[in-house]
Structure 1
């Protein structure tokens, strides 16, 4: 995941002034910035400020970024630093109880956040490779609260008895997508060994 050629390509193109590549980077990593900010219980206005600071810092540092594939880690670490800076300069927020995570290094927290974000992005990409029918079926089954089978049957125009087998086929196709196959091959043991 760290050597994602898509990230390297986007960083390279953004360095060269490609606005579409820059927009894709922001769209791809804005959820990461948001999730790090939420851990610090920042108000929405403060999250917006931190986000703008992170993107400004990226504009400043993008030309000198030595490892384009390390961008997600750079974003997570920069977001944490901006959150700390904001917390130090204002009294409007109550930080997360850092005593609970005092024995966990800041870098490990940032890496875990990056991995969680990358796994989510891979799953969304794999889900996008499914047929529209499978996407709709799995979406209906994953809603909270779950959509009743009779409603799914009506919306998809299939017998209730075929919903389970169709779900199984859709999940099998999802597992077989190249993105998820790579993620499965890069299991927790492999990720741990690389650190």
Structure 2
């Protein structure tokens, strides 16, 4: 396997992972530059505070460090990072729900609402949206969450993370939104 050099025009993920596992900081920096926006966008899609989003992003990168030598499908590194970030976010949210007393959770959900009528309408809309999203295939849910995060992730990064051809992301998004509209009706 050829070794990574910072001058390489487009090193493969396998080269970068191998070099990073060997302690090469330039290889690690290249991985972060290549997938950092993707990790950040998946983390942001969970609507956490900026501090929690940053912590979640760092945790995802830590998981990569811990697994540098065990990733066998290096061409699917983007998907691995997206999945890892999602799993860490879910773990964080579950832990947070266990730590916050129920009465404080209600107070937090009340923030920003004008009155009881508006809260009921907003809660109902969110409930309908969550129910409609739950009926979508996982691929649609993931794509819509990442795109809704307005992360600036490029179609190339989305393509690598989700295993979709670049040209099919827009049409897939349109089909997913159409399915979501149908479920909302």
Q: Tell me the TM-score normalized by structure 1.
A: 0.52
Q: CA deviation at 1:107?
A: 4.8
Aligned length: 124
Q: Work out which of the residue numbers 136, 144, 151 in structure 2 matches 1:104.
A: 136
Deviation by residue 1:147-185 (Cα, 9 ceiling, x = unmatched):
xxxxxxxxxxxxxxxxxxxxxxxxxxxxxxxxxxxxxx9
| Residue 95 of structure 2 is aligned to residue 89 of structure 1 | yes
Higher RCO (CA 8 Å, separation ≥ 6 residues): 2
| Residue 99 of structure 2 is aligned to residue 119 of structure 1 | no
Q: In 2 relative to 1, CA 108–70 (structure 1 residues): closer, same or farther, beyond 3 Å?
A: farther
Q: Tell whether the 8 Å contact from 1:76 to 1:110 is kept in structure 2 after alignment.
A: no
Q: CA deviation at 1:41?
A: 0.6
Q: CA deviation at 1:88?
A: 0.8
Q: Tell me the TM-score normalized by structure 2.
A: 0.54
Q: RMSD of the alignment, in Å?
A: 3.4
- Alpha-carbon distance in structure 1 between the residues aligned to 2:74 and 2:57: 20
- Alpha-carbon distance in structure 2 between the residues aligned to 1:44 and 1:75: 19
Query: Where does residue 159 of structure 1 map in the other structure?
Result: none
Q: Secondary structure of 1:17's partner?
A: coil
- Alpha-carbon distance in structure 2 between the residues aligned to 1:111 and 1:70: 16
Residue pairs, 1:128-139, within 5 angstroms = none
Query: Where does residue 176 of structure 2 map in the other structure?
Result: none
| Residue 29 of structure 2 is aligned to residue 23 of structure 1 | yes
- Alpha-carbon distance in structure 2 between the residues aligned to 1:55 and 1:76: 11
Q: Work out which of the residue numbers 16, 19, 41 in structure 2 matches 1:35.
A: 41
Unaligned runs of 5+ in 2: 1-9, 101-107, 110-125, 159-164, 173-185
| Residue 53 of structure 2 is aligned to residue 47 of structure 1 | yes
